[in-house]
A and B are shown apart, each in its own frame.
Chain A
Amino acid sequence: MDWPALLASTARLLDLHDCDRAAGTSLYAPPEVRPGPANGLWLDVATQMLQYLYEKDLEANEAWISLTEIVDELVSRHDIDEQDVQFVTNYLATSTRLVTLKEGAAPSTLNRLITKKETSLIEWPRNTNARDRCRLTSSGSRSVQLSQAAHKWLYADEDASKLIKAIEYGAFPDLPALAEGLIAQIRGFSKEITILLERKDLDELLDEFRQRKDEYLAVLQGVQGSVEKAYETFMLTDTLSRFDSWVDSTGNEDITSYTIVQSFRDILQAIERLSRKLQGLLSVLVSQKREIIGSVQFDKAAVGLAFYPCAENIVELCIRALGPWTTMIGAPAPNDFTGILSLPLEEESATTYVFEEEIADDLPSPLQQFLDSYGGEISSALKKGPVSLTKAVENGWLLIDGIDVLPQLVGIYASPDWIEEEGSEIAVSLLPGALNVELPDGGMLRGDDVVLHLLFTNHENKGID
């Protein structure tokens, strides 16, 4: 049970919910005033109560649970009486009013969402005054489950198998979120390994790794197997046709087969990197070689070195090995000189420039190369529906053999007649401010999004009017 983690993650949010500051007024630090003696007593009684009810509910299956046993236990655990326990159970059974905001149906509108009933964690039998038995509400059960939530690597295998289930159930929109969750788990475990490799005083954790290393490796293999199986299942003709039907029926443009396949590849790459890191840690564990340097009192050492300086050559050695360094010679790139080249022809030059008249026009132009590579794909996509510049970037029509063809892609949007076919016409529309997409090199395209629409194909109107 990790109640502190659950409380810590919500305490500030509740503080802000109750914050009385009016928008636009002066800033102030959160008042760190919490009424009560801060001895954790009532919280402990409450969490013990919730846990007890949760465990009993597993057997009772939502039947009312007698409080006698837990009251006795709590009274002996703390210096409290039955009425004190009653106070806590009443508190947990009383609902409170929470206000949150959510997006409204109309654009840029926010609506208030009032939550009250769900805030009570336990409930009494209705229409009676009986207070000797109660049970958890669904919120109460959730609070216990959240306190138990352990995103440990040992359970990652189960999460990976959810990918297969999601495909089997046709729950395609769940796949990206499941993949992201799994990658987050892999990354989290990888960070744990990093901490073990970097920090001292973690012998307990190291021992746990030693003891569980076979299980960790088994989970790693299990996760890899599940992801590979999910990938294979998704690539089956039957699954792909179910996916296409799902796309057609929902009109979803956000999830494509490419993005799903890419999710699987991302997970597999993350697994491979984790595997390397885990092997590194295991080899350290096996060899017992773990040279970790802990905290060093550099400030104290600096004071000491003022009064008892070390040899000058040691200072020089340290600076040479760890200090800032430069190259003795300049190593400019060829382009660095471009600015200092003087190109004008001298007035009295003895040299006459001769230009070759033959132009190598057998090489395809960059635009032609672009059309050869992606023209067909763009046309096919247009037959299915409008294609925005954002979508084009997401589809990866940006590189040919590693060469950036963004100018050519934008050129197509400026002059779409390059991809027009006989009997078709392409129209261009603008979505103001809708373009906000990241390029593979980290750059951003922002502004109005440009959308291509195929108007006529074989005299059928399939686009906009």
Chain B
Amino acid sequence: MEIEDIGRVYHYLLRYRSIEYKPSTRRSRSGESDVAAILRGASIDQLDRFNQFLSPQGFKLIEFDDSTRGVSTAGRVWILARGVEADPPEFYTTDRVISEIRIREGERREDVAIWFLHIWMIYLSLIYTRPGRGVSEVSGYIDATFSREALTHAVEEHIENIRQMGISEGAESKAVSILDAEQGQDIPRRVLAFLTLMSGSGLVYEVSKDEYQQTLLGAYEIAESYNHTLRVPVENILKNVVNIAAPSVTQEEEMETEIDGVN
């Protein structure tokens, strides 16, 4: 793995976040087979050195082989995952989250962030909570499929649920009023923007028109970083606020076998 190879692979990863040898569900992207060939030909030492190069930037290269669900036989997947040890580099930005989710002039950054957070949580409930999938279950990414319509509907249900509950004593009205102010096609537009952002970052993959699936990168990152990030607000709210009404959705029945007494 020469210096120019490292440059080529690094550039490709910054752009697409993952490299797949023998992709199972899509055609190879332009140049993907070249960078996959470089990584396949790299020794363990060379990959270690590449990871040493990535580490100070807050990234790491993770390899998956065909013992991972969804990776084709003899195939390989490499992802550029964010680590928790180092800060990301200066060129790293999440500003587009705000600019894409903002659908009206003058919307405050904080308000837009609330919209993103809620769509994000409902997205996570769709692919983790409802099917009873644990956050650590990376290999469940292959089953984490959903349509744009399903996510839009779930977000609409969530907002309607909040409206119906109303502000109780001790609750804050700020976020509720931001969410309650949605009208017309606001939710479909924000959900589309959310999915565009997630696809662009390699966290979800558009399998076909308006049909999506979580990527291996998306599943790996949340399994690795959940404890240092979302766990704080999520556990805090679930532990301390006891009177949250159960969401209207019901958990899917995933029981493989039912055992009951016969005699």
- What residues make up the interface of A, taking CB atoms closer than 8 Å to B? 4, 39-40, 183, 186-187, 190-191, 194-195, 197-200, 266, 270, 273-274, 277, 291-310, 312, 314-329, 331, 333, 402, 440-443
CB of B3 within 8 Å of the partner chain: no
Is the CB–CB distance between A307 and B168 below 8 Å?
yes
Can you give 8 A-B contacts (C-beta < 8 A)? Answer: A39-B262, A291-B136, A295-B132, A298-B121, A319-B94, A326-B201, A331-B14, A441-B33
Q: How far is the CB of B90 from chain A (nearest CB, A)?
A: 7
In the assembly, what is the distance between CA of A190 and CA of B69, in Å?
10
**Would you call the interface of chain A mostly helix, strand, loop, or mixed?**
helix
Determine whether the beta carbon of A310 is less than 8 Å from that of B139. no
**Quick check: B179 and A306 within 8 Å, CB to CB?**
yes
B118 touches A305 (CB 8 A): yes
Interface residues of B in 114-151 (CB under 8 A from A): 114, 116-118, 120-122, 124-125, 128-130, 132-140
Contact A299 B175 (CB under 8 A): no
Does residue B181 face the partner (Cβ distance < 8 Å to A)?
no
Instruction: Say yes or no: A308-B226 contact (C-beta < 8 A), given A293-B136, A299-B247.
Output: no
* Cβ contacts under 8 Å, A333 to chain B: 11, 31
CB < 8 Å: which of A300, A307, A312 contacts B113? Answer: A312
- A187–B176 CA distance with the chains assembled, in angstroms: 49
Please determine whether A198 and B138 come into contact, CB atoms closer than 8 angstroms.
yes
Query: Complex formed: what's the CA distance from A156 to B218 in Å?
Result: 34
Question: Do residues B230 and A293 form an inter-chain contact, with CB atoms below 8 A?
Answer: no
B22 in contact with A442 (CB, 8 Å)? yes
Q: Which of B36, B110, B244 has the most CB of A within 10 A?
A: B244
CB–CB B241/A307 < 8 A: yes
A300 nearest CB neighbor, chain B only: B244
Known: A298-B128, A307-B172. A321 touches B23 (CB 8 A): no
Q: Contact at B225–A322, with CB atoms within 8 Å?
A: yes
In whole angstroms, what is the CA distance A309 to B222 when docked? 21
* Docked pose: A267 CA to B82 CA in angstroms: 32
CA distance A298 to B118 in the complex (A): 10
Q: How far is B73's CA from A183's CA once the two chains are assembled, in angstroms?
A: 10
Contact indicator A319/B116 (Cβ below 8 Å): yes
* A-side contacts of B171, CB under 8 Å: 307-308
Tell me, in angstroms, the Cα distance from A322 to B257 when the chains sit together: 36
A322 touches B92 (CB 8 A): no
**Once the chains bind, are A327 and B92 in contact (CB under 8 Å)?**
yes
Q: How many chain B residues touch the partner (CB < 8 A)?
A: 96
Binary CB contact string for chain B from 179 to 209 against chain A (1 if under 8 A, 0 otherwise): 1000000000000000001101101000000
Q: Is the CB of A300 within 8 A of B221?
A: no
Q: Which residues does chain A contribute within 8 Å of B118, judged by CB atoms?
A: 302, 305-306
Closest Cβ of chain B: how far from A338's Cβ, in Å? 12
Q: A298-B122, A305-B121 given as contacts; is B67 within 8 A of A187 (CB)? A: yes
Please determine whether B229 and A200 come into contact, CB atoms closer than 8 angstroms. no
Task: For the complex, give the distance between the alpha carbons of A308 and B237 in Å.
Answer: 8
B161 at the interface (CB under 8 A from A): yes
Instruction: Give chain A residues whose Cβ lies under 8 Å from the Cβ of B246.
Output: 300
B27 interfacial contact with A, CB 8 Å = yes
Contacts of B65 in A (CB 8 A): 273
Contact between A306 and B162 (Cβ–Cβ < 8 Å)?
A: yes
Chain B residues within an 8 Å CB radius of A315: 113-114, 116-117, 233
Let me know if B237 and A304 touch, CB within 8 A: yes
Contact A326 B225 (CB under 8 A): no
- Could you tell me the distance between the alpha carbons of A302 and B94 in the complex, rounded to whole angstroms? 21
Q: Could you tell me if B134 and A309 are in contact, using CB atoms closer than 8 angstroms?
A: no
Give the complex CA separation of A3 and B233 in angstroms.
47
Q: Smallest distance from the beta carbon of B75 to chain A beta carbons, Å?
A: 9
Complex Cα–Cα for A296 and B11 (A): 35
Q: Give CA–CA (A291, B225) in the complex, Å.
A: 12
Q: How far is the CB of B193 from chain A (nearest CB, A)?
A: 10
Q: Knowing A302-B158, A315-B113 touch, does A320 contact B167 (C-beta < 8 A)?
A: no
B134 touches A305 (CB 8 A): no
Q: Chain A's nearest CB lies how many Å from the CB of B102?
A: 14
Is B223 an interface residue, CB under 8 A from the partner?
yes
Which B residue sits closest to A329, measured CB to CB? B91
CA separation between A299 and B36, bound complex, in Å? 38
Tell me the smallest distance from the CB of A34 to a CB of chain B, in Å: 16
Docked complex Cα distance between A181 and B109 (Å)? 56
Question: With the chains together, A324 CA to B114 CA distance in Å?
Answer: 15
Compute how far the CA of A443 lies from the CA of B238 in the bound complex, rounded to whole angstroms.
49
Please give me the residue from chain A that is nearest to B257 by CB atom: A4
B173 to chain A minimum Cβ distance, whole angstroms, is 9
Q: Which residues of A contact B104 (CB under 8 A)?
A: none
Q: Which residues of A contact B233 (CB under 8 A)?
A: 301, 305, 310, 314-315, 318
A296 and B139 contact, Cβ closer than 8 Å, known pairs A303-B247, A402-B37: no
Contacts of A305 in B (CB 8 A): 117-118, 121, 175, 233, 237
Q: Is there an interface contact between A302 and B67, defined as CB atoms closer than 8 Å?
A: no
How far is it, in angstroms, between the C-alpha of A329 and the C-alpha of B11 when the chains are bound?
12
B122: A residues at CB distance < 8 A? 298-299, 302
Provided the pairs A299-B129, A302-B122, A307-B175 are in contact, do residues A274 and B67 lie with their beta carbons within 8 angstroms? yes
Q: Chain A's nearest CB lies how many Å from the CB of B251? A: 9
- CA gap between A274 and B241 in the complex, in Å: 45
Are A190 and B172 in contact (CB-based, < 8 A)? no
Apart from A191-B139, A328-B91, what 20 extra A-B contacts exist at CB < 8 Å? A197-B136, A299-B249, A306-B176, A307-B244, A308-B171, A310-B232, A310-B236, A316-B113, A318-B233, A319-B116, A319-B117, A323-B94, A323-B97, A323-B197, A324-B97, A328-B92, A328-B95, A402-B41, A442-B28, A443-B27
